[in-house]
Protein backbone atom coordinates (compact mmCIF):
# COMPACT_ATOMS: atom_id res chain seq x y z
CA UNK A 1 0.00 0.00 0.00
CA UNK A 2 1.31 3.40 -0.99
CA UNK A 3 1.14 6.16 1.63
CA UNK A 4 1.17 9.87 0.78
CA UNK A 5 2.33 12.27 3.48
CA UNK A 6 1.82 15.99 2.84
CA UNK A 7 4.40 18.05 4.75
CA UNK A 8 4.31 21.81 5.16
CA UNK A 9 7.25 24.14 5.78
CA UNK A 10 6.27 26.43 8.64
CA UNK A 11 7.81 28.81 11.16
CA UNK A 12 9.70 26.65 13.67
CA UNK A 13 7.59 26.05 16.77
CA UNK A 14 10.34 27.47 19.02
CA UNK A 15 10.36 30.81 17.23
CA UNK A 16 8.24 33.62 18.63
CA UNK A 17 6.32 35.02 15.65
CA UNK A 18 6.76 38.71 14.85
CA UNK A 19 3.94 40.52 13.11
CA UNK A 20 4.95 42.67 10.14
CA UNK A 21 4.83 46.42 10.82
CA UNK A 22 1.94 46.90 8.37
CA UNK A 23 -0.13 44.15 10.03
CA UNK A 24 -0.32 42.18 6.78
CA UNK A 25 1.05 38.94 8.21
CA UNK A 26 3.84 37.27 10.15
CA UNK A 27 7.40 38.30 9.31
CA UNK A 28 9.16 35.24 7.88
CA UNK A 29 12.38 37.02 6.89
CA UNK A 30 15.47 35.38 8.42
CA UNK A 31 13.60 33.11 10.82
CA UNK A 32 14.06 29.39 11.31
CA UNK A 33 11.58 27.30 9.33
CA UNK A 34 10.90 23.59 9.95
CA UNK A 35 8.53 20.80 9.08
CA UNK A 36 5.10 21.29 10.68
CA UNK A 37 5.28 19.18 13.89
CA UNK A 38 2.05 17.27 13.12
CA UNK A 39 3.52 16.37 9.71
CA UNK A 40 6.64 14.93 11.40
CA UNK A 41 4.23 12.69 13.31
CA UNK A 42 2.56 11.75 9.99
CA UNK A 43 5.92 10.85 8.40
CA UNK A 44 6.85 8.80 11.48
CA UNK A 45 3.55 6.91 11.35
CA UNK A 46 4.01 6.13 7.65
CA UNK A 47 7.53 4.82 8.37
CA UNK A 48 6.19 2.61 11.19
CA UNK A 49 3.58 1.22 8.77
CA UNK A 50 6.37 0.46 6.32
CA UNK A 51 8.44 -1.19 9.04
CA UNK A 52 5.41 -3.38 9.85
CA UNK A 53 5.19 -4.40 6.19
CA UNK A 54 1.86 -2.58 5.72
CA UNK A 55 3.12 0.35 3.62
CA UNK A 56 5.21 -0.38 0.54
CA UNK A 57 6.13 3.15 -0.49
CA UNK A 58 6.02 6.54 1.23
CA UNK A 59 5.66 9.65 -0.93
CA UNK A 60 6.17 13.02 0.79
CA UNK A 61 4.49 16.00 -0.86
CA UNK A 62 4.95 19.69 -0.19
CA UNK A 63 3.32 22.72 -1.73
CA UNK A 64 5.14 25.99 -1.35
CA UNK A 65 8.21 27.94 -2.28
CA UNK A 66 11.37 26.25 -3.60
CA UNK A 67 12.82 26.13 -0.07
CA UNK A 68 10.17 23.56 0.86
CA UNK A 69 12.68 21.17 -0.75
CA UNK A 70 14.53 21.23 2.59
CA UNK A 71 11.38 20.03 4.35
CA UNK A 72 11.00 17.23 1.81
CA UNK A 73 14.66 16.24 2.26
CA UNK A 74 13.96 15.99 6.00
CA UNK A 75 11.04 13.65 5.28
CA UNK A 76 13.30 11.61 2.96
CA UNK A 77 16.01 11.48 5.63
CA UNK A 78 13.48 10.22 8.17
CA UNK A 79 12.51 7.40 5.79
CA UNK A 80 10.18 8.55 2.98
CA UNK A 81 11.06 6.96 -0.37
CA UNK A 82 10.47 9.85 -2.76
CA UNK A 83 9.09 13.35 -2.81
CA UNK A 84 7.00 15.71 -4.89
CA UNK A 85 7.39 19.47 -4.60
CA UNK A 86 4.64 21.63 -6.09
CA UNK A 87 6.22 25.05 -6.33
CA UNK A 88 3.92 27.97 -5.60
CA UNK A 89 4.78 31.51 -4.52
CA UNK A 90 2.93 33.15 -1.66
CA UNK A 91 0.51 31.50 0.73
CA UNK A 92 -1.54 28.63 -0.67
CA UNK A 93 -4.89 28.21 1.07
CA UNK A 94 -6.13 24.81 2.29
CA UNK A 95 -8.66 24.46 -0.56
CA UNK A 96 -5.93 24.86 -3.20
CA UNK A 97 -3.63 22.49 -1.26
CA UNK A 98 -6.46 19.95 -1.07
CA UNK A 99 -7.15 20.26 -4.82
CA UNK A 100 -3.46 19.68 -5.59
CA UNK A 101 -3.37 16.70 -3.23
CA UNK A 102 -6.51 15.33 -4.89
CA UNK A 103 -4.79 15.54 -8.31
CA UNK A 104 -1.73 13.79 -6.85
CA UNK A 105 -3.98 11.09 -5.34
CA UNK A 106 -5.56 10.56 -8.78
CA UNK A 107 -2.08 9.98 -10.24
CA UNK A 108 -0.54 8.01 -7.40
CA UNK A 109 -3.54 5.96 -6.17
CA UNK A 110 -2.41 5.73 -2.51
CA UNK A 111 -4.09 3.48 0.05
CA UNK A 112 -3.66 6.07 2.74
CA UNK A 113 -2.97 9.79 2.98
CA UNK A 114 -1.65 10.84 6.39
CA UNK A 115 -1.70 14.59 7.03
CA UNK A 116 -1.13 16.66 10.14
CA UNK A 117 -4.32 17.74 11.91
CA UNK A 118 -3.27 21.35 11.41
CA UNK A 119 -0.42 23.51 10.26
CA UNK A 120 0.87 25.52 13.23
CA UNK A 121 1.30 28.70 11.17
CA UNK A 122 -2.29 29.29 10.03
CA UNK A 123 -4.01 26.82 12.40
CA UNK A 124 -6.55 26.10 9.69
CA UNK A 125 -7.29 22.44 10.44
CA UNK A 126 -9.03 22.13 7.05
CA UNK A 127 -6.84 20.43 4.46
CA UNK A 128 -7.42 16.78 5.43
CA UNK A 129 -11.16 17.32 5.70
CA UNK A 130 -11.30 19.11 2.33
CA UNK A 131 -9.23 16.37 0.70
CA UNK A 132 -11.66 13.76 2.07
CA UNK A 133 -14.55 15.73 0.56
CA UNK A 134 -12.83 16.11 -2.82
CA UNK A 135 -11.83 12.44 -3.06
CA UNK A 136 -15.00 11.08 -1.46
CA UNK A 137 -12.79 8.91 0.80
CA UNK A 138 -13.43 8.25 4.48
CA UNK A 139 -11.58 10.33 7.03
CA UNK A 140 -10.27 9.72 10.53
CA UNK A 141 -9.12 13.03 11.98
CA UNK A 142 -7.07 13.72 15.16
CA UNK A 143 -5.69 10.17 15.23
CA UNK A 144 -3.95 8.90 18.36
CA UNK A 145 -3.73 5.33 17.03
CA UNK A 146 -3.84 3.84 13.53
CA UNK A 147 -4.20 0.12 12.82
CA UNK A 148 -4.33 -1.23 9.29
CA UNK A 149 -5.86 -4.63 8.69
CA UNK A 150 -6.20 -5.54 5.01
CA UNK A 151 -8.36 -2.89 3.37
CA UNK A 152 -9.63 -1.55 6.71
CA UNK A 153 -8.04 1.17 8.81
CA UNK A 154 -9.04 1.59 12.45
CA UNK A 155 -8.41 5.09 13.68
CA UNK A 156 -8.67 6.02 17.34
CA UNK A 157 -9.57 9.69 17.51
CA UNK A 158 -9.01 12.21 20.25
CA UNK A 159 -12.39 13.84 20.77
CA UNK A 160 -13.57 16.18 23.53
CA UNK A 161 -15.20 13.48 25.61
CA UNK A 162 -12.37 10.93 25.28
CA UNK A 163 -11.51 8.50 22.50
CA UNK A 164 -13.61 7.46 19.52
CA UNK A 165 -12.63 4.58 17.22
CA UNK A 166 -13.75 4.63 13.60
CA UNK A 167 -13.22 2.02 10.90
CA UNK A 168 -12.45 3.25 7.38
CA UNK A 169 -12.09 1.41 4.09
CA UNK A 170 -8.98 2.21 2.07
CA UNK A 171 -8.22 4.47 0.36
CA UNK A 172 -8.64 6.75 3.36
CA UNK A 173 -7.52 10.06 4.84
CA UNK A 174 -6.06 10.27 8.34
CA UNK A 175 -4.89 13.35 10.23
CA UNK A 176 -2.47 13.06 13.13
CA UNK A 177 -2.82 14.27 16.70
CA UNK A 178 0.06 14.91 19.09
CA UNK A 179 -0.07 11.61 20.98
CA UNK A 180 0.08 9.31 17.92
CA UNK A 181 3.84 8.78 18.19
CA UNK A 182 7.18 10.44 18.84
CA UNK A 183 8.92 11.20 15.55
CA UNK A 184 12.47 9.93 15.10
CA UNK A 185 15.46 12.11 14.34
CA UNK A 186 17.12 11.51 10.99
CA UNK A 187 20.57 9.97 11.38
CA UNK A 188 23.54 11.52 9.59
CA UNK A 189 23.92 8.59 7.15
CA UNK A 190 20.21 8.87 6.32
CA UNK A 191 20.52 12.64 5.79
CA UNK A 192 23.31 11.89 3.28
CA UNK A 193 21.26 9.14 1.60
CA UNK A 194 18.23 11.44 1.34
CA UNK A 195 20.17 13.73 -0.98
CA UNK A 196 20.00 11.15 -3.76
CA UNK A 197 16.37 10.09 -3.27
CA UNK A 198 14.02 11.21 -6.09
CA UNK A 199 12.35 14.61 -5.72
CA UNK A 200 10.01 15.59 -8.56
CA UNK A 201 9.32 19.29 -9.16
CA UNK A 202 5.87 20.29 -10.36
CA UNK A 203 3.74 23.41 -10.64
CA UNK A 204 0.04 23.92 -9.87
CA UNK A 205 -0.51 24.33 -13.63
CA UNK A 206 0.74 20.74 -14.16
CA UNK A 207 -2.31 19.65 -12.15
CA UNK A 208 -4.67 22.29 -13.61
CA UNK A 209 -5.20 23.89 -10.18
CA UNK A 210 -5.67 27.61 -9.65
CA UNK A 211 -4.01 28.55 -6.35
CA UNK A 212 -5.19 32.19 -6.29
CA UNK A 213 -6.37 33.07 -2.75
CA UNK A 214 -10.11 33.01 -2.07
CA UNK A 215 -9.68 34.93 1.18
CA UNK A 216 -8.30 38.35 2.01
CA UNK A 217 -6.42 38.72 5.27
CA UNK A 218 -7.83 41.89 6.80
CA UNK A 219 -5.28 42.26 9.57
CA UNK A 220 -2.86 40.31 11.72
CA UNK A 221 -2.20 41.52 15.26
CA UNK A 222 -0.13 40.28 18.17
CA UNK A 223 -2.07 39.06 21.21
CA UNK A 224 -2.67 41.76 23.82
CA UNK A 225 0.15 41.99 26.33
CA UNK A 226 -0.70 40.25 29.59
CA UNK A 227 -1.07 42.50 32.61
CA UNK A 228 1.54 41.99 35.29
CA UNK A 229 0.32 39.82 38.19
CA UNK A 230 0.38 40.83 41.87
CA UNK A 231 1.55 38.82 44.85
CA UNK A 232 -0.85 38.30 47.74
CA UNK A 233 0.21 37.61 51.32
CA UNK A 234 -2.31 34.87 52.07
CA UNK A 235 -5.50 33.13 50.95
CA UNK A 236 -7.72 35.65 52.76
CA UNK A 237 -6.25 38.50 50.75
CA UNK A 238 -6.67 36.46 47.56
CA UNK A 239 -10.34 35.79 48.31
CA UNK A 240 -10.95 39.46 49.18
CA UNK A 241 -9.37 40.50 45.86
CA UNK A 242 -11.36 37.93 43.89
CA UNK A 243 -14.59 39.15 45.54
CA UNK A 244 -13.69 42.74 44.68
CA UNK A 245 -13.20 41.65 41.05
CA UNK A 246 -16.56 39.85 41.10
CA UNK A 247 -14.86 36.48 40.36
CA UNK A 248 -15.78 34.90 43.76
CA UNK A 249 -18.75 35.36 46.05
Binding site for ligand AMP (CB under 6 A): 6-8, 36, 38-39, 61-64, 92, 94, 97, 115-116, 118-119, 122, 124-128
Q: How far is the CB of 222 from ligand AMP (least distance, A)?
A: 21
DSSP H helical segments within 66-159, as ranges? 68-78, 94-108, 127-135
> Which is closer to ligand AMP, CB of 144 or CB of 239?
144
Q: How far is the CB of 247 from ligand AMP (least distance, A)?
A: 35
Taking alpha carbons only, the member of 63, 119, 132 closest to residue 96 is: 63
Helices 94-108/127-135 angle, 10° precision: 50
Taking alpha carbons only, the member of 63, 86, 47 closest to residue 10 is: 63
> Which is closer to ligand AMP, CB of 118 or CB of 181?
118
Q: How far is the CB of 113 from ligand AMP (least distance, A)?
A: 9
> Which is closer to ligand AMP, CB of 36 or CB of 156?
36
Secondary-structure percent of the chain, ordered helix, strand, coil, rounded to 5: 30, 30, 40
> Which is closer to ligand AMP, CB of 92 or CB of 105?
92
Q: How far is the CB of 151 from ligand AMP (least distance, A)?
A: 23
Q: What phi, psi does 214 have (nearest 5°)?
A: -100, -10
Amino acid sequence: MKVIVPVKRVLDYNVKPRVKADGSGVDLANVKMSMNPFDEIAVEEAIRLKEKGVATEIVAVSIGEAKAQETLRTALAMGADRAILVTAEGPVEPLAVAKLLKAICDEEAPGLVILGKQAIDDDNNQTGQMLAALTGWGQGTFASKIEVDGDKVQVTREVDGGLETVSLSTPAIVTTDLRLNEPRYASLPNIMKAKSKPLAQKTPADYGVDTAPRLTIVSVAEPAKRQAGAKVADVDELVTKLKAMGVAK
